[in-house]
Amino acid sequence: MTTKILLPEDRIPKQWYNIIPDMPGPLAPVINPRTLQPVTPDDLLPIFPLSLIEQEVSQERWIDIPDEIREIYQLWRPTPLYRARRLEKALGTPAHIYYKHEGVSPAGSHKPNSAIPQAWYNKQAGIRRLATETGAGQWGSSLALACSFFGMECTVYMVKVSFTQKPYRKSMMQLWGAEVIASPSEFTNAGRSILAHDPDNLGSLGIAISEAVEDAATHEDTNYALGSVLNHVCLHQTVIGQEAKAQMEIAGDYPDVVIACCGGGSNFAGLSFPFIADRASGKKVRCLAVEPASCPTLTKGVYAFDYGDTAKMAPIAMMYTLGHDFMPPGIHAGGLRYHGESPLVSQLCHAGEIEAKAYSQNACFEAAVLFARSEGIVPAPESSHAIRAAIDEAVMAKEEGREKTILFGLSGHGQVDMAAYDAYLSGALEDYEYPEEKIREALDRLPKVSL
Ligand SMILES: Cc1ncc(COP(=O)(O)O)c(C=O)c1O
């Protein structure tokens, strides 16, 4: 009757799993936003180190994790896999529910899995400062942590709505030595031009990315780090799924369904890609990406070329998108408010290899409260989307009277998200309608790429 399935530190993966050679077809090219032609490594060198550009396009299935990075991973990895026995009991379900708890990292989420390697590779390339965006504050705090480990400076453009909703995330970033700027800001051309039209703009990940990319592109000693979406970020996160597979094996179980919340897609990728790889050896596993109904990229967006950011400075990628200037409502799962999606996750979704589902925030908080009252852990609002879907799968198993093994990603804890819980518990949380009209308008402004 084990509850926590633990691995020793020498079982931290020695390699990251790169899904690119196993994708269902060739990847669409990434496009330079100025020339509308495929990007070259030279286009990306002003903001990324060559080592990460190489990882972005690598065809190698396995990529070695440098020892120094594994040593830092040892601070919190391997993360525990839990059998959610008390949640199963509360639901009266025959399903076996497991969750991989990434909230035990120093920053409280899966994000340091990529922040540490990104800072390390930049340090190796002689970069002094990293600029980045953050939504919920989880990525910004993870990069602040990573930069402090390697003696680098860090500037974080934090989406304004989260800056006010989550003052303690800002404090964490400052504690680890980062400079935190509410976005849109007066510090960049991108921020100034948005504020000129809309002084009360709440910000979005797309705008914050524009500001951070501009900062990096205009400073020789500064590079840009992105917390999700890109192939190399998905790659770094595969330590999650690799460990989970080993832990499921110890438990003597294998998931029928793997569930994770999806913002830019790296959390979902990290847990699910190593399981998707198992399909080659005949395993049947469903993978379900869960997103907010107010920012329904995979479920309501279009699969098209679009800019990665609002100011059209970041590369154009083929992905599910709601339009680069789509402004999602200020929901409490700030880390899921991104207009686009990882090109890898998008392509898998388009090919029918994975499923996607959207939930409104009250339904997710209801699931989070049940989880907290049975398992004890306060989940991040983002992670509550995965919990909602896992509970629904477990209830379905009960109704159908059949056993089912469910694995979901608890991508972070929510102990710095108490304002969100206060709002939910006092009945003040609004569910936003899917803003169909606004999305249609935003889609009219997609770039015209003809190759
Ligand atoms: C706790 C948590 N879970 C999930 C996500 C979404 O992650 P991704 O962009 O990797 O999909 C975030 C993003 O900030 C987050 O903070």
Instruction: Determine the distance separating the centroid of ligand 1 and the alpha carbon of 201, expressed in angstroms.
Output: 22
Q: Ligand 1: distance of its center to the CA of 160 in Å?
A: 17
pLDDT number for residue 182? 97
Cα–ligand 1 centroid distance for 382 (angstroms): 6
Residue 433: pLDDT over 80: no
Domain 66-108+231-443 has CATH 3.40.710.10: no
Residue with token string 């299935």: 61
Mean pLDDT of the chain: 95
* Nearest partner of 350 among 319, 314, 379, judged by Cα: 319
Reported confidence tier of residue 450, pLDDT bands at 50, 70, 90: confident
Q: How far is the CA of 383 from the centre of ligand 1 (A)?
A: 8
φ and ψ of 219, to 5 deg: -130, 120
Whose Cα sits closest to atom 14 in ligand 1?
A: 335
Q: Is 448 exposed, middle or buried (0-12, 13-18, 19+ CB in 10 A)?
A: exposed
pLDDT band for 373, please (50, 70, 90 cuts). very high
Query: What b/e string do you get for 102-133 counting C-beta neighbours within 10 Å, with b at 16 or more?
Result: bbbbbbbbbbbbbbbbbbbbbbeeebebbbbb
Most informative mutation of 378, 387, 408, 411 for ligand 1 (most atoms within 8 A of CB): 411
Question: What burial class does residue 58 get, using C-beta atoms within 10 Å of its C-beta: 0-12 exposed, 13-18 middle, 19+ buried?
Answer: middle
The protein residue whose alpha carbon is closest to atom 5 in ligand 1 is 335
138 Cα nearest atom in ligand 1: 16
In the structure, which protein residues have their CB atom closer than 6 angstroms to any atom of ligand 1?
Answer: 109, 135-136, 138-139, 228, 261-268, 335-336, 380, 382-383, 411-412
- For the segment 329-333, the average pLDDT, to the nearest whole number, is 79
Q: Could you give the CA distance from residue 168 to residue 413 in angstroms, rounded to a whole number?
A: 14
Cα 11 to chain centroid, rounded: 24
- Give distance in angstroms: CA of 263 to centre of ligand 1: 6
- Residue 174 CB contacts under 8 Å (≥ 6 apart), including other chains: 144, 180
Residue by residue, DSSP assigns 138-153 as HHHHHHHHHHHHTT-E
Ligand 1 midpoint to CA 402 (Å): 32
Of ligand 1's listed atoms, the one at least distance from the Cα of 237 is: 10
- Nearest-atom number in ligand 1 for the CA of 268 is 11
Across 182-196, 330-344, 379-393, 395-409, least confident range: 330-344
Q: What percent of the chain has pLDDT over 70?
A: 100
Helix (H) or strand (E) holding 161: helix 160-165
- Kind of pairing, strands 15-17 and 62-64? antiparallel
Q: What single DSSP character describes residue 413?
A: B
| 434 alpha carbon – ligand 1 mean position (Å) | 20
**CA distance linking residue 176 with residue 149, whole number of Å:** 9
Report which ligand 1 atom has the smallest distance to the Cα of 229. Answer: 9
- Are 147 and 175 in contact by the 8 Å Cβ rule? The answer is no
d(CA 308, CA 337): 13
Look-up of token digits 């705008």? 207
User: Ligand 1, residues 138, 157, 168: which to mutate, most atoms within 8 A of Cβ?
Assistant: 138
pTM metric for this prediction:
0.97
Name residues whose C-beta falls within 8 Å of residue 215's C-beta, 6 or more positions apart in sequence: 131, 155, 157, 187, 188, 222, 224
How does pLDDT run across 257-310, given as a tens digit for each residue? 999 999 999 999 999 999 999 999 999 999 999 999 999 999 999 999 999 998
Nearest CA to ligand 1 atom 6: 263
pLDDT band (50, 70, 90) for residue 410: very high
Nearest ligand 1 atom to alpha carbon 134: 14
Ranges of each domain in the chain: 66-108+231-443
pLDDT digits (tens, 9 = 90+) for 174-210: 999 999 999 999 999 999 999 999 999 999 888 999 9
Q: Which of 334, 311, 325 is nearest to 210 (CA)?
A: 311
Ligand 1 geometric centre to CA of 158 (Å): 14
Fill in the DSSP letter of residue 334.
G
Give me ligand 1 centre to Cα 136, in Å.
Answer: 8
Q: pLDDT-based confidence at 166, cuts 50/70/90? A: confident
Total residues found in the chain within this entry: 451
**What is the DSSP secondary-structure string of 82-123?**
EE-HHHHHHHT-SSEEEEEEGGGSTTSBSTHHHHHHHHHHHH
Q: Please give the pLDDT value at position 23.
A: 97
Mean pLDDT of 112-140: 96
